[in-house]
Chains A and B, each alone.
Chain A
Amino acid sequence: MKLNGVFLPHEKGTENCETIKIPLPAKVRISMSQSMGAPCEPLVKKGDRVLVGQKIGDSDKFMSAPVHSSVSGTVMAVSDILLANGRTCKAVEIETDGKQEVSPEVKPPDVTDKESLCKAIRESGCVGLGGAGFPTHIKLNYNEAKCHVDSLVINAAECEPYITSDYRTMIEEADSVADGIRLVKKYLGIEKAYIGIEDNKPEAIRLMREKTADDADISVVKLRSSYPQGAEKVIAFNTTGRIIKEGQLPSDQGIIVMNVSTAAFISSYIKTGMPLVSRRLTIDGDIVKTPCNVSAPIGTSYSELLAFAEANMEFAHKIISGGPMMGMCVYDAETPLTKTNNAVLAFKKPLEDKKGMVDSCRQTNCINCGRCIAACPLGLMPARFEKAYDRRDKATLLRLKINLCMNCGSCSYACPAKRDLAEKNQLAKAFAMAK
């Protein structure tokens, strides 16, 4: 038994596009909220000169990771920025000087055990690079007295259509990936590691097997190319067979799930000491003339990235940060790149009937076909949620476990009546969970 969701068109047209470093932008805008958790306080002010890798934002909150400058240059302003989730936060605007002078703060950390590793990772500003952006040092710093973690699951499923940045990481930085896994395994004393890769990436499976052949405790698990294979609970079950129960963290089941690009970053950080200041991402979508994978400094604007990929912005209808299933639409093309951004997709207004890609259609009545229920990887009943929410039936929503919905969107995707089930689930969840 494996958990499955829906089978999507892959659209991985950029899988053979080697990562290109984009030309240094004239300015970057670095948001103080880069990931899950508390936003940082800016440590610099207008007129300050900053260097690559210099810490420019930090927070004393538990759930946070510091932010570093991705360029060398002068701080132009510390202003407010509208994030994709509708909130605002501070952002540091830096005019680049083109020298890319590296800060003296940047030096390889001294890592000898779990504690020093977690401390170093916090200083690197590392967060989960798969999209959710959970601060990595918190994930690794689990309470050993409470739970015995014996399995490290490396999430290399990359189940969203279009995105190939994790795939390119595995191809281009295979050694870093393998090294990162060994490092985490060693310092945390984890016995087994599983690298979960979907079967539409045979080259990555081959390469990862080759690089980890000398270690019997690291196994590459070939997963079905179904969505959402890379969801934490799904990949944890499909690799280790353990179910992360309601209200539990993966560590409660002895598992740590980490994105493959995060593992590669940890390895390179330990070697070079360069914090998370740039990332690899896929630029694709139907108005993008040359879809590609690029490595770009954090804070580069989407318009700059899309211009690099020769997107025809005249027809831009939706610009999505992330994949088409869970990614968020941005309000404006000047939105800056963040640490968790594995793709920027730009689409024109959809044609009504393009195969598998119908974006907006007229909603019709629910016909009770059960496709949403079959599609839900966690076995929830989205159609029932919708009806219960429409009559504001909190008891039913809670009994049917609305709180488990992770907004993967499989139900909306599968619905023949084109009902916005995932959207309703989020409303219902907020309604039912409100005290």
Chain B
Amino acid sequence: MEKLTVSPSPHIRDNISTSKIMGHVLVAMLPALFMAGLIFGGRALMLIGFCTLTAILWERLCNLVMKRPNTTNDLSAAVTGMLLAFNLPATLPFWMAAIGTFVAIVIVKQLFGGLGQNFANPAIVGRIVLMLSFTGEMTNWVVPFYDSADIETAATPLVTKTAEYYDLFMGRVGGCIGEVSALALLLGGFYLVAMRVISLHTPVAFIGTVFVFSYLAGEDGIYQILAGGVMLGAIFMATDYVTTPVTGKGKIIFGIGCGIITCVIRFYANYAEGVSFSILIMNILTPYINMITEKKPVGAVYPDKKKEASEQ
């Protein structure tokens, strides 16, 4: 018998881990990945693979330069890379995508201290930087099932407002690689909820707000939630743990805020799409939402401020 180990309780732990959670997210993105391959072909799959690999590469490089332990095995970089790819058009040049993953991983995540310390969603910021830097390439939407010899592009359904619901639901429309098929994203969302990785609060509040706001603004609510990036944003980006509120109440506020900002940008501003801006703005508000949604513990007694003041 060696010496006994003495450590504080508890002596057992759940077998959940950060990498398992990230693994679940990757699995949940598979339906959308499959649809991306089906609709936009090999180029889209190559871009997804490229983004995922470069994201992991940037993370490892940062670890080496900063002399930190290897964090690529927590899979969060892979999730970021894949999510960013989902937010890009299939025709984007690879070098631009590499800049996107650099911004996401190095600037937004690692420079702030790595996973858990970033205040904004890395993939969202990566997309926004690319959008502002390479607006032409970032809005070059190819039509579904395009012929690579003769690339045909068209405006997204958010601009044309003419697509059929069924096409929007299945994804037979132009747009970013991962956002087009509402069906695939919902499947992924159900998987995440079933695996208890995400709760329903944020997606329901986000999508519900977009629907209601659109209806009130005289737009087609169903069309607005199916077209563009609402599904992708609400299920995969607005549910990122690190950059969103931690309590259920906070998550609902976050989702409603995202929905309102998305619609305001879509209907009254110069951009056709507002999902990424809305999530970024709400990311920045998250510490304040956390502050106002602190939980009241069971049986907590707070000093009566009025009484104290009168006693003094």
Contacts and interface: CB of A to CB of B under 8 A. Distances in A.
Interface of A: 3, 6, 8, 161, 233, 237, 243-248, 313-320, 324-333, 347, 353-361, 364-371, 373, 377-381, 383-384, 400-401, 404, 407, 409, 412-418, 420, 422-423, 426
B1 interface: yes
Interface in B112-164: 113-117
Which of B9, B10, B14, B295 is the most central at the interface, judged by chain A CB atoms within 10 Å of its CB? B10
A270 B117 CA distance: 61
A318 B12 CA distance: 12
B13 A413 contact: yes
17 contacts: A237-B298, A318-B4, A318-B7, A329-B4, A331-B6, A364-B74, A367-B241, A367-B242, A368-B241, A381-B246, A381-B295, A404-B300, A413-B14, A414-B16, A416-B21, A420-B8, A422-B9
Interface string B63-96: 0000000010010100000000000000000000
A364 B115 contact: yes
Interface string B12-47: 111111101100000000000000000000000000
Interface of B: 1-2, 4-18, 20-21, 71, 74, 76, 113-117, 241-244, 246-247, 294-301
Given A244-B299, A400-B294, A314 B247 contact: no
A355 B20 CA distance: 13
A328 B297 CA distance: 26
A413 B21 contact: no
B297 A378 contact: yes
Contacts of A361: 13, 17
Given A247-B301, A332-B4, A379-B296, A417 B10 contact: no
A416 B5 contact: no
A417 B1 contact: no
Contacts, number: 165
In the A-B complex, the 7 residue pairs with the closest CB atoms? A409-B10, A365-B116, A329-B6, A370-B246, A246-B301, A369-B241, A423-B8
Contacts of A246: 299-301
Given A325-B12, A379-B295, A318 B5 contact: yes
A404 B296 CA distance: 11
Given A6-B14, A233-B298, A373 B246 contact: yes
Contacts of A422: 8-10
A313 B301 CA distance: 48
Given A401-B297, A416-B21, 13 more contacts: A245-B301, A248-B299, A314-B1, A320-B11, A325-B11, A329-B4, A361-B17, A368-B243, A370-B246, A371-B16, A413-B12, A413-B13, A416-B18
Max count, chain B CB within 10 A of own CB: residue among A245, A401, A415: A401
A167 B123 CA distance: 53
B14 A401 contact: no
Best-surrounded residue of B115, B117, B295, B297 (most CB of chain A within 10 A): B297
A413 B12 CA distance: 7
